[in-house]
Structure 1
Amino acid sequence: MTAGSIPSTEVETMIRLLEDARYEAVVGGDIEAFTALAHPDLAYTHSNGAVDTLESYRDKLRSGFYVYHRIDHPVDRILVVGDTAVVIGRMFADITAGGVRKSLANQAMAVWVREGDRWLLLGYQPTVLPEALR
């Protein structure tokens, strides 16, 4: 059981839905929907090593610096410990970043924390997959 006595399988289901919603929001250009899912202290790391805060990431989405065309995000597992859920999976995407179109193939980790009755994305960290694992 996790904090609040919610079985971890229910939390895992909720986190999967939230992961779907956050990716759908950025592909759909719905910055407000993404913001509603993000913790105010978000640390969003990109596969090139750049790190954004919630504010700087939203600014880059609004300005068109990041444009997501497609994202697939298979989840390998979700670890739930208390009010923290860690999502381990992959992220495959077609994006435009800084005016350059590229395809991404990453191993990824997302960290969600529960505040009250809401789960919020606190951190994201992708790592480029070696060619052999793509």
Structure 2
Amino acid sequence: MDADHAGDPEDVRAVLAAEDRRYAAMLDADLPALDALCAAELSYAHSSGARDTKEQYLAKVRSGHYVYRRVDHPVERVAVVGDSALVVGRMTADVDVAGEPRTIDNLALAVWTRASGRWQLLAYAPTPLPA
């Protein structure tokens, strides 16, 4: 396990696998998978500064407001503490937002929580890269 990962190695692997499933579900617009991967209390911020609840985010993916064409999410660090995990990295993507193509390149923080033995995304917050 990489030195930038803290916590039980099995938990770190499980969180990273959940991150991979989430990004794959975003690309595939796989709403059942996204629903299962996101906690009911989800707070999903976007690079525009807008923030969605789980219901709002899923509705926007369902309607085609967000159409992900390409997503890369290199991870720099994972810290698992109890039933919480922080994933620090980057998110680059080509995404259509309300029909307009955009390229996104942000630092990213994902907060995961373990409930009933499975990891779910609790919060996501991108930060624009410094100029």
TM superposition score category, shorter chain reference: over 0.9
Equivalent residue number for residue 47 of structure 2:
47
RMSD: 0.9
Structure 1 unpaired stretches of 5+: 1-6
Q: Indicate whether 1:8 and 2:13 are aligned.
A: no
Q: Matches of 1:8 and 1:126 in 2, distance apart? A: 26
Per-residue deviation, 1:13: 0.6
Instruction: Say which SS state the counterpart of residue 39 (structure 1) adopts.
Output: strand
Per-residue deviation, 1:17: 0.5
Runs ≥4 in structure 1, deviation > 3 angstroms?
none
Q: CA offsets per residue over residues 4-54 of structure 1, 9 Å max, x none?
A: xxx611111111100000000010110111110110010000011100000
Equivalent residue number for residue 22 of structure 1:
22
Matched residue type, 1:126: P
TM-score, normalised by the number of residues in structure 2: 0.93
Q: Indicate whether 1:57 and 2:57 are aligned.
A: yes
Equivalent residue number for residue 104 of structure 1:
104
Q: Matches of 1:115 and 1:102 in 2, distance apart? A: 34
Q: CA offsets per residue over residues 48-91 of structure 1, 9 Å max, x none?
A: 11000000001100110000000000000001111100000000
Instruction: Say which SS state the counterpart of residue 48 (structure 2) adopts.
Output: coil
Per-residue deviation, 1:129: 1.2
Structure 2 unpaired stretches of 5+: 1-6
Matched residue type, 2:80: V
Equivalent residue number for residue 128 of structure 1:
128
Per-residue deviation, 1:130: 2.8
Q: Indicate whether 1:86 and 2:118 are aligned.
A: no
Q: Matches of 1:98 and 1:128 in 2, distance apart? A: 20
Matched residue type, 1:36: A
TM-score, normalised by the number of residues in structure 1: 0.91
